[in-house]
Structure 1
Amino acid sequence: MDDILETVKRIEKYTKNSSLSKLKKNSLIVDGVVRNLEIIGEAVKNISPQIKIQHPEIEWKKIAGLRDILVHEYFGVDVEVIWDIIVHKLPELKLTVRRIIKKL
């Protein structure tokens, strides 16, 4: 869980003061974000089934599935989808992971 939290923070650092249009123009940031989303997906695959059952509010399968898509279809990655994840999904994931860590 700590790995997920740290990786989310890394993505936030990479995209601070950014926008979709800026992201589209900066392949270096896109590469860094994509790599870290892959890491989150891999970390999710290693979380115990018990934690996943206790926290159905996290879309565990979708996160792991995103990792697989990113790894196998890298050149087909849609930056708009990545931006949506950064803006809408990662903040929620970060908050929930923090709550889980406090309970452990």
Structure 2
Amino acid sequence: MSPADRWRILHMVEAAEQALAFVRNRQRTDLEADPMRRLALTRAIEILGEAAAQVSDSARIELDDIPWPQIVGMRNRLVHAYFDINLDILWDTVHLALPPLIARLKPAIAHASPDLD
């Protein structure tokens, strides 16, 4: 894995961990009541998706069990349809998809060259 790919995957992990921190000990209804939390959560997922979009094809092949198109697609949806975000999907994505994604990406970072661009 190239240093640039390692850097982008590190950004993905950091954004995913931030998103999880934003919802820790919270309920789904907190997104309705707290616009700052909702925006922070949305932005974390946007960052995760943007970093994923920058990962090279060779790294995507190496990590072929990662749902790259879905991650990037969610980012695109959040950015371009910002006025129509389904908070249930956002909430479920954070709770259901991010823990296994982090669990898969962290070892990839650990096994990659530590030299960063």
TM-score by length of 2: 0.84
Relative contact order higher in (CA < 8 Å, ≥ 6 apart): 2
Matched, 1:62 2:70: yes
Deviations 1:21-68 (A, max 9, x none): 222222211100111111111100111211111212110011001111
Q: Going by fraction, where is helix more abundant, 1 or 2? A: 1
Selected match of 1:16 from 24, 30, 35: 24
Query: Could you tell me which residue of structure 2 aligns to residue 36 of structure 1?
Result: 44
RMSD over aligned CA atoms reads 1.0
Query: Could you tell me which residue of structure 1 aligns to residue 79 of structure 2?
Result: 71
Equivalent-residue separation in structure 2 for 1:58 and 1:69 (angstroms): 19
Equivalent-residue separation in structure 1 for 2:21 and 2:29 (angstroms): 17
Query: How many aligned residue pairs are there?
Result: 104
Equivalent-residue separation in structure 1 for 2:98 and 2:27 (angstroms): 15
AA partner of residue 32 (structure 1) = A
4+ runs of 1 displaced by more than 6 Å?
none
Gaps of 5+ in 2: 1-8, 113-117
Gaps of 5+ in 1: none
AA partner of residue 75 (structure 1) = F
TM-score by length of 1: 0.94
- For the pair shown, the structure with the greater C-alpha radius of gyration is 2
